[in-house]
């Protein structure tokens, strides 16, 4: 113990000379690379190898039986000429934009509001939290039941919902999916913003109040800028989540009416596991990976998030 | 500091309360009504009778079995995650080898891979090793896709262990393994419980892997059971709502008794 203390005291003076000795001494007790191997191999087997495989499979024809057969660019040509594929990309984009636009302001407002320490806010926050306890499948099944044209809420409130078949039109179906997404994910993002808003130093608000800034002014001048990094994290999660929405579409609309809510992730499932065209399915999957990565990179770039090493570490 | 009550925020939060609470109210109250009553009075009305028949129906229609399967999957996934992630995070935080920092970047990259993107090759792989329609076939990929976020969370926790503690261990001649079991694991309890809850939730709520990798009733998990119940008995809404409510109960129990761990597990990557 004494040697440790003396060495630490000596460090500021001769840090360059003491460094190699120190690392030499302490690497004795350090774990080797072998400690990381089991997890790395396991993850590579189920994520990285399949990622490479999906690229290969996109150049093959495979129905799930027998072996995949190499067909060159045929799947890609099919996809490029496929109007449903193009439509699915636009729909995915629409879903992402509408999801971000509806959930972000709501969760910022609720999060900042819930960060206040009045007692009623704690109780309401606990209720807001409940949708998080349900799985996506459970939420989709629940809303499908709630929106049932005959036995659901629209049937009972026909003065509000007309004939009650909300999922029968494209705009109705998209509206329902966006609304259910909001119901499902706003609590999560509210929690993120609530945590971040609680972390804003009260000194900032006190200083602003002394300068005569009102509640509104404080919100726009202090709260929002302080939540910027949180907003980026939250939006990336929304974008990736929106792009890969699956249960909700399958259970609530099954991609319909027609192909009017067939977003790309769902189209991939249909092509691969309903039409048993795994080659085309793999090609769509690859598009999905590329789009997901691009969007994340763009958000990170535009926001300047990549320059903040510490935040990335904490993510 | 605040002087006047914020009426706009109060009204807004009340409206959102209604939007959150009304569906939950229908979900719970519907389960205690008979089908006839629910159909006649509509979902929003107050129940005039009380029955537990819907829960009995849900359980006898197979949910007992589905719950058992989901429990097996959840336990399996948590076991794999707890076996693999702590040594990995330990190596990432403490190892001096270049491989370890490469591995960390590799897992960061893994965050960007959506499960859907690799589902076709995973389907192929699981078929090839003969695990199709086997619970183990769900467990393996589900655990693999929980690894990146769990690694991030636990590495964050382990970084907070100060170098002095390690040096004191090394001074006593402790091997890396001894430091891991005597120092790192006890001091990472918070992070370990977070990743346990996070991976348990992933397994409990998982849908895509079970949908694609299983088919028979004997391997059906709860989420698929709900989907199946809906397509088969979509007209029996109280029964369906009872099944949905049952699927929430275990998570609700964790919420009531280990709220902190659950919130952190739920937050996963978003929580920081």
Confidence tier at A18 by pLDDT (50, 70, 90): very low
> Do B165 and B243 belong to one domain?
yes
Task: State the pLDDT at residue A152.
Answer: 78
> Do B30 and B97 belong to one domain?
no
Residue B181: inside a domain, yes or no? yes
Residue B36: inside a domain, yes or no? yes
Is A25's pLDDT higher than 50?
Answer: no
What is the average pLDDT score of chain A? 81
Length of chain B equals 272
Task: State the pLDDT at residue A309.
Answer: 40
Of B51, B78, B93, which closes a domain? B51
Residue B194: inside a domain, yes or no? yes
> Do B71 and B36 belong to one domain?
no
Task: State the pLDDT at residue A19.
Answer: 38
Which residues in chain B have their CB less than 8 angstroms from residue A111's CB?
Answer: none
Chain B residue closest in CA terms to A254 = B231
Does residue A236 or residue A137 have the better pLDDT? A137
Average pLDDT on A296-310 reads: 59
Task: State the pLDDT at residue A304.
Answer: 58
Which residues in chain B have their CB less than 8 angstroms from residue A27's CB?
Answer: 96
> Do B113 and B244 belong to one domain?
yes
Task: State the pLDDT at residue A3.
Answer: 38
Question: Are B43 and B30 within 8 A, CB to CB?
Answer: yes
> Do B41 and B149 belong to one domain?
no
Q: What is the pLDDT of residues A131-153, one digit of tens each?
A: 989 999 999 999 998 888 777 77
Q: How far off is chain B from A151, nearest CA to CA, in Å?
A: 6
Task: State the pLDDT at residue B132.
Answer: 93
> Do B7 and B131 belong to one domain?
no
Confidence tier at A16 by pLDDT (50, 70, 90): very low
Is A84's pLDDT higher than 70?
Answer: yes
pLDDT lower than 70: segments of chain B: 1-5, 268-272
Is A12's pLDDT higher than 60?
Answer: no
> Do B212 and B107 belong to one domain?
yes
Q: What is the pLDDT of residues A41-77, one digit of tens each?
A: 999 998 888 888 899 999 988 887 778 888 888 889 9
Task: State the pLDDT at residue B95.
Answer: 83
Q: How far off is chain A from B99, nearest CA to CA, in Å?
A: 6
For chain B, what percent of residues have pLDDT higher than 70?
Answer: 96
> Do B80 and B41 belong to one domain?
no
Owning domain of residue B31: 1-51
Residue B56: inside a domain, yes or no? no
Residue B57: inside a domain, yes or no? no
Q: How far off is chain A from B121, nearest CA to CA, in Å?
A: 5
Nearest to B91 among A36, A106, A153 (CB): A36
Residue B10: inside a domain, yes or no? yes
Is A184's pLDDT higher than 90?
Answer: yes
Cα-based distances in Å from A201 to A121, A185, A198, A205, A217 = 20, 27, 8, 8, 16
Q: For chain A, which domains are there?
A: 83-125+166-314 (1.10.3720.10)
Which residues in chain B have their CB less than 8 angstroms from residue A269's CB?
Answer: 116, 119
Of B51, B73, B93, which closes a domain? B51
Model ipTM value = 0.89
> Do B46 and B91 belong to one domain?
no
Task: State the pLDDT at residue A239.
Answer: 86
> Do B144 and B32 belong to one domain?
no
> Do B76 and B123 belong to one domain?
yes
Tally of domains within chain B: 2
Cβ contact, residue pair B176, A36, below 8 Å: no
> Do B25 and B66 belong to one domain?
no
Q: Residue A258 contacts by C-beta under 8 Å, 6 or more apart in sequence?
A: none
Task: State the pLDDT at residue B4.
Answer: 55
Residue B21: inside a domain, yes or no? yes
Question: Are A247 and B116 within 8 A, CB to CB?
Answer: no
Question: Are A122 and B236 within 8 A, CB to CB?
Answer: no
Of B51, B70, B89, which closes a domain? B51
Is A6's pLDDT higher than 50?
Answer: no
Nearest to A110 among B13, B38, B263 (CB): B13
Nearest to A251 among B140, B212, B227 (CB): B227
Task: State the pLDDT at residue A28.
Answer: 59
Lowest mean pLDDT among A139-148, A254-263, A298-307, B154-163: A298-307
- Sign of the four-CA dihedral B28, B33, B37, B38: positive
Q: What's the CA gap between B121 and B123, in Å, rounded?
A: 5
Is A222's pLDDT higher than 70?
Answer: yes
Residue B197: inside a domain, yes or no? yes
- DSSP per residue, chain B: ---S--HHHHHHHHHHHHHHHHHHHHHHHHHTS-HHHHHHH-TTSPPSS---HHHHHHIIIIIHHHHHHHHHHHHHHHHHHHHHHHHHHHHHHH--SHHHHHHHHHHHHHTT--GGGGHHHHHHHHHHTT-TTSHHHHHHHHHHHHHHHHHHHHHHHHHTS-HHHHHHHHHTT--HHHHIIIIIHHHTHHHHHHHHHHHHHHHHH--HHHHHH--SGGG--HHHHHHHHHHHHTT-HHHHHHHHHHHHHHHHHHHHH-HHHHHHHHHGGGT-
């Amino acid at each position: 113990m004494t040697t440790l203390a003396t060495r630490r005291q000596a460090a500021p003076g001769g840090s360059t000379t003491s460094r190699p000795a120190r690392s030499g001494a302490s690497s004795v007790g350090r774990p080797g690379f072998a400690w990381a191997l089991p997890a790395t191999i396991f993850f590579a087997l189920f994520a990285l190898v399949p990622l490479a495989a999906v690229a290969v499979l996109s150049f093959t024809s495979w129905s799930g039986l027998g072996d995949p057969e190499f067909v060159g660019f045929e799947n890609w040509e099919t996809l490029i000429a496929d109007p449903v594929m193009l439509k699915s990309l636009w729909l995915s984009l629409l879903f992402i934009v509408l999801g971000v636009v509806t959930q972000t302001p709501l969760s910022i407002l609720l999060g900042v509001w819930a960060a206040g320490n009045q007692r009623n806010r704690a109780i309401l926050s606990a209720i807001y939290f409940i949708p998080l306890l349900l799985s996506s499948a459970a939420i989709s099944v629940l809303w499908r039941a709630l929106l049932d044209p005959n036995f659901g809420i629209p049937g009972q409130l026909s003065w509000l919902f007309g004939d009650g078949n909300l999922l029968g039109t494209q705009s109705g179906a998209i509206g329902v999916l966006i609304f259910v997404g909001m119901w499902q994910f706003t609590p999560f993002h509210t929690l993120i913003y609530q945590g971040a808003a609680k972390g804003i130093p009260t000194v900032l608000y006190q200083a602003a109040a002394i300068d005569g800034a009102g509640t509104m002014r404080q919100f726009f001048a202090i709260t929002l800028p302080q939540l910027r990094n949180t907003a980026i994290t939250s939006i990336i999660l929304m974008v990736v989540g929106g792009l890969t929405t699956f249960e909700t579409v399958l259970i609530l609309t099954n991609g319909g009416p027609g192909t009017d809510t067939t977003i790309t992730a769902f189209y991939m499932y249909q092509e691969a596991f309903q039409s048993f065209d795994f080659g085309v399915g793999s090609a769509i999957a690859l598009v999905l990976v590329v789009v997901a990565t691009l969007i994340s990179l763009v958000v990170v770039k535009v926001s300047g998030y990549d320059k903040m090493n510490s935040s990335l570490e904490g993510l | 500091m605040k002087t006047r009550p914020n009426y706009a925020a109060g009204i807004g939060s009340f409206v959102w309360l209604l939007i959150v609470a009304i569906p939950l109210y229908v979900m719970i109250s519907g389960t205690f009504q008979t089908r006839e009553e629910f159909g006649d009075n509509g979902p929003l009305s107050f129940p005039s009778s009380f029955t537990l028949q819907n829960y009995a129906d849900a359980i006898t229609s197979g949910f007992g079995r589905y719950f058992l399967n989901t429990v097996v999957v959840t336990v399996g996934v948590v076991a794999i995650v707890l076996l693999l992630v702590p040594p990995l995070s330990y190596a990432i935080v403490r190892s001096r080898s270049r491989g370890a920092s490469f591995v960390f970047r590799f897992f960061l990259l893994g965050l960007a891979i959506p499960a859907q993107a690799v589902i076709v090759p995973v389907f192929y792989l699981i078929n090839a090793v003969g695990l199709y329609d086997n619970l183990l076939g769900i467990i393996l990929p589900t655990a693999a896709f929980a690894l990146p976020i769990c690694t991030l969370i636990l590495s964050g926790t382990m970084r907070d262990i100060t170098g002095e503690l390690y040096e004191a261990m090394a001074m006593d001649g402790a091997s890396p393994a001894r430091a891991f079991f005597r120092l790192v694991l006890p001091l990472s309890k918070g992070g370990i419980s977070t990743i346990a809850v996070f991976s348990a939730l992933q397994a409990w709520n998982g849908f895509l892997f079970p949908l694609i990798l299983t088919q028979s009733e004997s391997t059906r998990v709860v989420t698929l059971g709900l989907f199946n119940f809906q397509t088969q008995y979509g007209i029996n809404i109280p029964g369906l709502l009872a099944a949905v409510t049952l699927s929430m109960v275990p998570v609700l129990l964790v919420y009531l008794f280990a709220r902190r761990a659950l919130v952190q597990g739920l937050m996963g990557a978003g929580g920081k």
